């Protein structure tokens, strides 16, 4: 059966070869896109990036996850040069303080915990060990978690330590700008005044600047932030609002002087109407308060943030408004939205930069050199939607599974309904201790296990294979893993000492 042909006008527009790429907006998103496209296809494309020095960026994406290492490897970016240029530190996970209940903390770390059997994950053997009083805390069997607790870090042979970075987002954008311009990207200073579209195809034809210049292109990348100038204001792609699941709608960011050695983890500190982040860099600390205005007004939020800072503020607190959710389509016509223009999830699990990275890598895999294909557009939108929905569920998990009931905010989170996909995963783990990772989902089984255990879920049962080990066998199995973790951590230098030797940031 032959597929239905596209209307002629639409087909002609879709099959127009892509030779001119216009990136609307700079910041982390714009320059990550520029760096990737220019490195891979710069010899075949005319790439222009439009940004204005007068327009600020959100710039709170200063904590990352290990996938950024892959992005840098693909672009042949030297890690030491990148870290020195951005004042970066290493990150082994996130410490969640007061999330399970007031005064109770846990770490969601990178990497693996223990050793799995082909029939069952390590958590089943650990649960049996706890029943027999043979096992320590779940985190005792994770190298990255124990290193984070002891403020230690080093690169290990055979990629034996999983890590990410804390970085200065503004410096990162400048670093990538220099990288991109080396591969031919042309930066154009100016504000976008008008977006011209083709009436016949609804494709974007050109961007007119305040200066009167018109920048024409074949493919436009919308990196204009939450405004979504191209994808939203011009092409009218609807936005799906997820605030009925994620109640925080505001953030307040401020930078402070460092008052001690940087720890190799992000701190996420729950408060009565949301949470606070603390991100240590080599030259300063990034701080922010995320909150729901229904439960906390701006001025009390400002007072709360300032009262919980360590070190003198370097900047005045800056308010950021947001609506959690996603665009119904992130690729429409000849426009692809990447970064905050495509959707927003609060930075609880440091996924903002990852989603930029995934957006541009996906675009490279489906790049429409010979013309835009409806099938490619549909596949891009499908993958993008599924990826952010998986991350959405993981973030909702932190709010839903909590023992906190001390404020109306937390009682609302605790009693709210959640997406069916998340409801199933919680029930599966609660009843059987099982976790399954569908497809190419970002967060692996160990991430779900650490957060569900950390938030207070105790599984009712475990796999019977763990019951077959004798006390001696189980004790030896668990003890060997714990001993190896402890021995490795003891040999690591302090995080600060390693930074000073490996990638010291120059004085600014």
- Full 3-state SS string of 357-409: HHHHHHHHHCCCCCCCCHHHHHHHHHHHHHHHHHHHHHHHHHHHCCCCCCCHH
In a domain, 144, yes or no: yes
Q: Is residue 288 part of a domain?
A: yes
Q: How many domains does the chain have?
A: 3
Who has greater pLDDT, 9 or 409? 409
- Are 227 and 293 contained in the same domain? no
Q: What angle do CA 508, 57, 34 make, to 5 degrees?
A: 85
Enumerate the β-bridge partners of residue 22: 48, 220
**Residue 302, domain member (yes or no):** yes
Q: Are residues 190 and 84 in the same domain?
A: yes
- pLDDT(57) > 90: no
Quick one: what percent of the chain has pLDDT higher than 70? Answer: 96
Q: Cα(55)–Cα(168) distance, rounded to whole angstroms?
A: 18
Examine the domain organization and report whether 311 and 198 are in the same domain.
no
Pair (266, 144) in one structural domain: no
Domain end position, chosen among 372, 390, 408: 390
303 and 316 part of one domain: yes
pLDDT on residue 54: 77
- Angle, helices 27-41 vs 169-181, to 10°: value is 30
Strand bridging mode 20-24 / 219-222: parallel
Residue 101 lies in a domain: no
Collapse the DSSP code of 280 into the 3-class scheme (helix H, G, I; strand E, B; otherwise coil) and give the result. Answer: strand
Buried b (16+ CB within 10 A) or exposed e, 288-300: bbbbbeebbeeee
427 and 465 housed in the same domain: yes
- 306 and 334 inside one domain: no
pLDDT at 5 over 60: no
In a shared domain, residues 190 and 301: no
Contacts of residue 4, Cβ cutoff 8 Å, sequence gap at least 6: none
What is the spatial distance between Cα 208 and Cα 188, in angstroms, rounded to a whole number? Answer: 12
What is the tens place of the pLDDT at every residue in 336-395?
999 999 999 999 999 999 999 999 999 999 999 999 999 999 999 999 999 999 999 999
Q: In this structure, is residue 79 part of a structural domain?
A: yes
What burial letters (b/e) apply to 254-276, b meaning 16+ CB within 10 Å? bbbeeeeebbbbbbbbbbbbbbb
Do residues 330 and 376 both lie within one domain? yes
- Stated as kind and residue range, the H or E segment containing 347 is none
Q: Considering 260, 292, 321, which residue would you say is the last residue of a domain?
A: 321
- Both 66 and 171 in one domain: the answer is yes
Residue 98 falls within a domain, yes or no? no
261 and 122 assigned to the same domain: no
Domain boundary residue, one of 321, 355, 378: 321
Average of per-residue pLDDT values in the chain: 94
**383 and 430 co-located in one domain:** no
Closest to 235 measured CA to CA, from 279, 203, 213: 203
pLDDT higher than 70, residue 12: no
Flag whether 448 is in a domain. yes
Q: Is residue 49 part of a domain?
A: yes
Q: Which residue segment(s) compose the domain that 40 sits in? A: 15-88+167-242+324-390
Cβ neighbours of residue 316 closer than 8 Å, sequence gap 6 or more:
254
pLDDT of 438 reads 86
Are 352 and 61 contacting, i.e. CB atoms less than 8 angstroms apart? yes
pLDDT of the residue at 60: 60
């Amino acid at each position: 059966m032959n597929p239905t042909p596209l209307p002629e006008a639409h087909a002609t527009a879709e099959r127009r070869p892509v030779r001119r790429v216009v990136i609307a907006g700079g910041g982390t998103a714009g320059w990550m896109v520029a760096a990737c496209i220019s490195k891979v296809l710069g010899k075949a494309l005319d790439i222009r990036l439009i940004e204005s020095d007068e327009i600020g960026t959100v710039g709170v994406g200063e904590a990352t996850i290990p996938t950024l290492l892959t992005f840098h490897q693909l672009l042949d970016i030297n890690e030491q040069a990148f870290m020195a240029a951005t004042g970066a530190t290493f990150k082994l996970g996130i410490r969640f303080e007061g999330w399970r209940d007031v005064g109770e903390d846990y770490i969601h770390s990178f990497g693996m915990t223990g050793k799995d059997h082909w029939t069952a994950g390590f958590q089943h053997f650990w649960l049996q060990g706890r029943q027999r009083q043979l096992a320590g805390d779940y985190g005792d069997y994770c190298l990255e978690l124990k290193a984070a607790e002891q403020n230690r870090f080093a690169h290990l042979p055979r990629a034996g330590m999983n890590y990410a970075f804390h970085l200065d987002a503004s410096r990162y954008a400048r670093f990538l700008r220099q990288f991109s311009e080396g591969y031919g990207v042309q930066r154009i200073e100016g504000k976008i005044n008008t977006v011209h579209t083709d009436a016949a195809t609804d494709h974007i034809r050109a961007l007119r600047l305040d200066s009167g210049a018109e920048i024409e292109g074949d493919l436009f990348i919308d990196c204009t932030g939450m405004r979504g100038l191209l994808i939203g204001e011009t092409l009218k792609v609807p936005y799906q609002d997820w605030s009925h699941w994620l109640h925080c709608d505001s953030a307040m960011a401020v930078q402070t002087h460092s008052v001690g050695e940087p720890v190799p983890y992000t701190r996420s500190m729950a408060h009565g109407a949301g949470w606070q982040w603390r991100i240590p860099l080599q030259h300063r600390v990034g701080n922010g308060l995320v909150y729901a205005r229904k439960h906390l007004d701006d001025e009390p939020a400002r007072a709360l943030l300032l009262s919980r800072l360590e070190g003198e503020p370097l900047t005045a607190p800056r308010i950021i408004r947001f609506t959690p959710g996603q665009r119904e389509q992130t690729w429409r016509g000849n426009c692809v939205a990447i970064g905050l223009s495509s959707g927003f999830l609060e930075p609880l699990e440091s996924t903002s930069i990852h989603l930029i990275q995934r957006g541009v890598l996906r675009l490279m895999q489906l790049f429409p050199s010979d013309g835009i294909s409806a099938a490619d557009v549909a596949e891009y939108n499908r993958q993008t939607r599924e990826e952010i929905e998986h991350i959405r569920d993981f973030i909702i998990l932190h709010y839903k599974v909590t023992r906190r009931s001390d404020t109306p905010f937390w009682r609302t989170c605790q009693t709210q309904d959640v997406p069916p996909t998340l409801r199933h995963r919680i029930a599966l783990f609660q009843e059987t201790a099982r976790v399954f990772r569908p497809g190419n989902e970002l967060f692996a089984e160990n991430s779900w296990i650490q957060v569900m255990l950390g938030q207070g879920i105790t599984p009712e049962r475990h796999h019977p294979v763990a019951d077959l080990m004798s006390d001696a066998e189980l004790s030896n199995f668990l003890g060997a893993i714990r001993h190896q973790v402890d021995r490795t951590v003891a040999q690591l230098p302090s995080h600060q000492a390693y930074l000073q030797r490996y990638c010291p940031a120059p004085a600014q």
